[in-house]
Amino acid sequence: MQSISPIVEQAQGWVAEDRWRDPAVWEMIANGGSRAVHHIESPAMVSLCRMSNVRDIDGLVAIVSVIRPGAANEQKKLRFTRRYQRLEPVTYPHPSLEKCLSDSWGLVIYEEHILKICEQFAGLTGGRGDVLRRALNKGNQEVIETIRKEFFTSAHALAREDRVIQEVWELVAGFAGYAFCKAHSAAYGLEAYQSAWLKCYFPTEFMAAVLTNGKGFYDPLVYVLECHRLGISLLAPWINQPGPGFVPLDKQIRVPISYIKGISAKTVDRILSAFEQGAFESMLDFYRRVQPLPEDLELLIRAGAFDGFGKTRAEQFWEAQFHQRTFSRPDAAGQSWLLPDEQTHRMPEGPLAEPTRHEKLQLEVELFGFPASGHPLELHDNVGWETYCPVSRLGEFIGEQVVMCGLVIEQRVHHQVTGEPMKFLTLADRTGIVETELFASTYRSYGTATVRYPVLEIAGTVEPFENGRGFTLRVQWAGKPRLRAGTDAGSATKE
């Protein structure tokens, strides 16, 4: 019987040994390292995990629901982070609620809390409580008002005080919007922890799987940056490591052939099928066995898929022209063993133009959506990065104004309570990733710059989380980045 992989074996051992309390995993989650971990990777989730300093599975399960609109109303996120960390006491408006909310630090977090409060505090039936739950989720004010009257009447019959009834009703009514039941949250929380465990102990394999499946919260560029943060570099495609998915190596991940934009599925299938019969020895061997479409062969050359054979891109191009002319002859069908080998084709005389490293990286962005053979910020090497405060040092300037610079990797427009638009930005430099906020007044003045410049200079105040384990950057100014002396505008300032 074929043995299972070491990762699966260790994961099965982990389940058997119940490592839900692994300190390394919790440190990663609580320290903001959960990007690429399904369910807890969004900027809001990463921040909430840090704000809460979450250290157990019950807390993580609660966070999955707390982040939802229903549970997040009425500043419940802030109250949850404080109560979870014992920064404020857990209180109940009425003793009957302790039994209902003891698993959630006195807060209404899960959908079933609505039913429990209706039953145990107000004396309504579970059916009416469920009607209220659905009405709150859908914002059905007519039904909510009907249940409110029943709630007050039934609670009065149990001799509840008017003041307490009003307070408890507001607690229930504040659960407006979509939320999770506890079983749903538990399933997500457990899956998130298991994924975090894999990222903690098998980062290369985990990130390769995330890139392969392509179902994460972020654009693949963000996962590439996360790979670099973890010390994992990416490699351009290579026909002797064709995939079909991203190939994990030792602290490296190979981009698969299938990820090249524009390559035909037919050619990819033929490459994978031919490779199963043995590695390709040369471009000639590849051409004989795969017979790729001319446009696919050109894409493979541009992507660097033949670089492993030791020839320059220019040499590869002319060799490909020779093979295409030779194998397209009417008398060539089935006669490839009679054809001249790859050494007989004649190269043009004189020096051949070879793309620069910068041009190769730009080609990779066109073909993959990100540079594979270098760090994404190499394409912005004309920016004066050394003149800015790096992301990794922002925590040293709590409460102070700093000037930093970062590649814009995520931006989301939001509306404040007043209805005015604001923007959340996620910026990255070589040292890390940081969340930033442009409130309405700042967004009105500098919102255009956030879409005009791919790399953005930010002046902002470092605002700490209450527990001291993280911060956000509140922006006062945003604009064009400074350039290194002697360089032109380049890609950093393209409009």
Q: For the domain with range 385-493, which CATH number is right: 3.40.50.360, 3.90.550.10, 3.40.50.2020, 2.40.50.140?
A: 2.40.50.140
Q: Which amino acid is at 404?
A: M
Check if the beta carbon of residue 408 is closer than 8 Å to that of residue 427.
yes
Predicted confidence at residue 337, as pLDDT, reads 45
pLDDT for residue 366: 92
409: left (phi over 0), alpha (psi -120 to 50) or beta: alpha
The domain spans of the chain are 6-182, 232-344, 385-493
pLDDT of residue 367: 93
Pair of tokens at residue 424: 């959340």
- Write out residues in the chain with pLDDT < 70, as ranges: 1-19, 69-74, 176-178, 327-352, 486-495
pLDDT in the model for residue 403: 95
Residue 393 has a pLDDT of 93
Type of residue numbered 33:
G
At CA 245, angle to CA 321 and CA 194, rounded to 5?
165
- String of DSSP letters for 192-253: HHHHHHHHHH-HHHHHHHHHHH--SSS-HHHHHHHHHHTT-EEE---TTS--SS-EE-SSEE
- Predicted local distance difference test score (pLDDT) of residue 495: 40
Q: Quick one: pLDDT at residue 4?
A: 42
For residue 88, CA distances in Å to 65, 78, 263, 396, 470 come to 20, 11, 58, 27, 19
Helices and strands in the chain, H and E counts: 20, 8
pLDDT score of 333 = 47
Whether the model pTM is above 0.85: no
Collapsed DSSP state (helix, strand, coil) of residue 278: coil
